[in-house]
Structure 1
Amino acid sequence: MKVPTRIPRQLALPRPQFVRPFHQSIARTANVAPIVGTGPPPDPPTPAVRNAQERLERRKKHAELLKMAKEVRSAQDGKSSGVAKRFWKEVTIREVDGALQVHLDARPLRHPNTKAIIRVPLSKPNLASALALEWDILTSTQQATKQHLIPLTSLICRALDILDDDASNSPEATKIRTAITHTVLRYLDTDSLLCWAPPAGPHDRRNDAGESLRDVQKKAAEETVSYLTTNVWPGITIEPVLDGHSIMPRKQSEGVREVIQGWVMGLDAWEIAGLERAVLAGKSFVAAARVVAEWSEGSVGTGHAVPVGRFSVEHVSKATSLEVDWQAEQWGEVEDTHDVNQEDVRRQLGSVVLLVSGTGKQHY
């Protein structure tokens, strides 16, 4: 006979389950505040404006309000300080001694530092017209002292300073030219057009044509580099400075920097001043060099009129901001930040085109 096995009672019964609370605070009921508001309920929140036309209209209204506030503030400042709105009534362009001068009534426009009369070559009538327009839209004398309101005047004065420095007989001649060359060549090693994204992975975004960000960057860079190595620096090879998964930029091959440095030092005053402005605006040396080469009326230019849409301000601004635009299309742009920066880049590049272009007949 088999004897049954006896199981202890403490093992047969289930053990009590102990629950450990996540907090030790005493639970209390919420005190609901009485409704004391009067009138209809507020309007429900409206979604963000997604229509481009509505957003444009809203920005126009904001611009009009800012303009009105600026006019009121300027009027108040004029009354409080006793300064007239501006001492000139008309802005004209006159040809004097083989150069174009902008006159504020009967007074010629002068360099703010040297007080020399600003003389624009006869071959640059568009530059003179833009300079006159810049001073015609000023509403007070006080605005003429603010550099951000007269950017084209500053750029022209920069070119004139280089002209005077080149013509001086001092031991420090071409000091400004040398400093500009040293500055712009630093951007060649970190050129925004030569920094390519790593190869796209399976989950990376592609455009409608099936291209990745790297493909778009490579296409834009090869087009500009091909133009420069064919028409401007024949015989040299320009490589990308940041490619693949590398995080450290690499320098160009031996001799490339010397060729480009000699080209920059050989530019005239208007061209090197324009190159400096374009490099600082787009953070790309090769894109700035192509702008100067295609639009210049001097010996560095291609010697023919640039067809409309060849390498315009719009083209170069897009080429130097490919990655920013790519990310904005994927994640959205920051309003009043990305768009404002793009407009500022276009403005600066447009001033470069005005500075270096002309009719091709130099008159100094």
Structure 2
Amino acid sequence: MSDWKAKRFWKDAAVVEVDGGFTVELDGRRVKTPAKRPLTLPTRAMAEAVAAEWQAQEKQIDPRTMPVTKTANAAIDKVAVQKDEVVDMLAAYGDSDLLCYRADNPAELVARQAAEWDPMLDWAAAFLGVNLETRQGIMHQPQSPDALAEMHRRTAALDAFELAAFHDLVSLTGSLVLGFAAYEQAFDPQKIWALSRLDEVWQAEQWGRDDVAEQEAEIKRQAFLHACAMIVLSKAA
């Protein structure tokens, strides 16, 4: 395995306005994506965050310390070129949304799910215009075609940068409703994440903590919070 790593070759990373948005220049040289596409960003705030990541690099470039750049690259190189497929994949979560599949026992878990998750379905009905029905057990039961069509329409309305973040909001929580709640910034991100972890927390209360599982959950939580931050950057004026 090669030990070669890209080295820092620039002094200053600067934000520049271009056709279609903003980009970042390294000593006057425009940054490109891994696929050699122009790194054109939708908002100045996102461009400033990308520039800060490049400016923070030391002797060698460490992509692990550049999450905004990584997500922006994914939006341009992956999401934008296959948007229809990404939209279909994410919208499909609405037909098997985490919040709709409920335990039938024990009574304490049934009550906790109802108390924590029902308000989110009420929010979806009021804000998104989508009425989703709950089911007991794990057997799939389809939601109404009208609800699925509306969730698909709303997902398709997102641009590539929003979709790149929305992908993580939905896939990490297992819920299209929670993904939209995070996208709309309707609730505190920590609250939304906690709602997605209700079943896991319940299991830990009954059987004890699993250190490995908690470490993995923390990695996912950080990724979820990063996706929330990317939504903010995508919508910034």
Q: What TM-score, normalized by structure 1, do the two folds share?
A: 0.56
The CA distance in 2 between the partners of 1:257 and 1:92, in whole Å, is 43
Matched, 1:179 2:85: yes
The CA distance in 2 between the partners of 1:216 and 1:152, in whole Å, is 36
Pairwise mapping of residues 233-252 of structure 1 onto structure 2 (< 5 A)? 234=129, 236-240=130-134, 242-243=135-136, 246-252=137-143
Matched, 1:117 2:33: no
196, 211, 224: which is aligned to 1:349?
A: 224
Q: Match of 1:354, as an amino acid?
A: A
The CA distance in 2 between the partners of 1:264 and 1:276, in whole Å, is 10
Structure 1 residue 269 displacement after superposition: 2.6
Q: Match of 1:112, as an amino acid?
A: P
Which SS does the other structure have where 1:119 is aligned? coil
CA contact (8 A) 2:80 2:160 kept: no
The C-alpha deviation readout for 1:46-101, integer Å capped at 9, x for no partner, is xxxxxxxxxxxxxxxxxxxxxxxxxxxxxxx5xxx6x6753234434344557332
Structure 1 residue 318 displacement after superposition: 0.7
Structure 1 residue 164 displacement after superposition: 5.5
Which residue is equivalent to 1:153?
Answer: 69
Q: Which structure has the larger Rg over C-alpha atoms?
A: 1
Structure 1 residue 268 displacement after superposition: 2.5
Pairwise mapping of residues 19-34 of structure 1 onto structure 2 (< 5 A)? none
Which residue is equivalent to 1:192?
Answer: 98
The C-alpha deviation readout for 1:257-315, integer Å capped at 9, x for no partner, is 122222222223333222222112222111012212x14xxxxxxxxxxxxxx512211
CA contact (8 A) 1:191 1:286 kept: yes
CA contact (8 A) 2:10 2:27 kept: yes
Pairwise mapping of residues 135-154 of structure 1 onto structure 2 (< 5 A)? 135-139=54-58, 141=60, 143-144=62-63, 150-154=66-70
The C-alpha deviation readout for 1:93-113, integer Å capped at 9, x for no partner, is 344557332333433321110
Matched, 1:216 2:112: yes
Which residue is equivalent to 2:207?
Answer: 331
Unaligned runs of 5+ residues in structure 2 are: none
- Compared CA separation, residues 198 and 351, structure 1 to 2 (3 A): same
Greater helix content: 2
Matched, 1:99 2:26: no
The CA distance in 2 between the partners of 1:161 and 1:359, in whole Å, is 17
CA contact (8 A) 1:99 1:120 kept: yes
Q: CA RMSD in A?
A: 3.0
Question: How many residues are paired up?
Answer: 235
Matched, 1:285 2:176: yes
Structure 1 residue 322 displacement after superposition: 0.8
Matched, 1:316 2:192: yes
Matched, 1:130 2:49: yes
110, 117, 125: which is aligned to 1:229?
A: 125
Structure 1 residue 360 displacement after superposition: 5.7
- Compared CA separation, residues 103 and 226, structure 1 to 2 (3 A): same
Structure 1 residue 154 displacement after superposition: 2.9
Q: Percent identity among equivalent residues?
A: 25
Which SS does the other structure have where 1:103 is aligned? strand
Which residue is equivalent to 2:163?
Answer: 272
Structure 1 residue 248 displacement after superposition: 1.1
Q: Which runs of 4+ in 1 moved over 6 A?
A: none
Q: What TM-score, normalized by structure 2, do the two folds share?
A: 0.82
Unaligned runs of 5+ residues in structure 1 are: 1-76, 166-175, 202-211, 296-309
- Compared CA separation, residues 338 and 102, structure 1 to 2 (3 A): farther
253, 258, 264: which is aligned to 2:144?
A: 253
The CA distance in 2 between the partners of 1:358 and 1:250, in whole Å, is 37
Higher relative contact order (CA 8 A, sep 6+): 2
- Compared CA separation, residues 88 and 193, structure 1 to 2 (3 A): farther
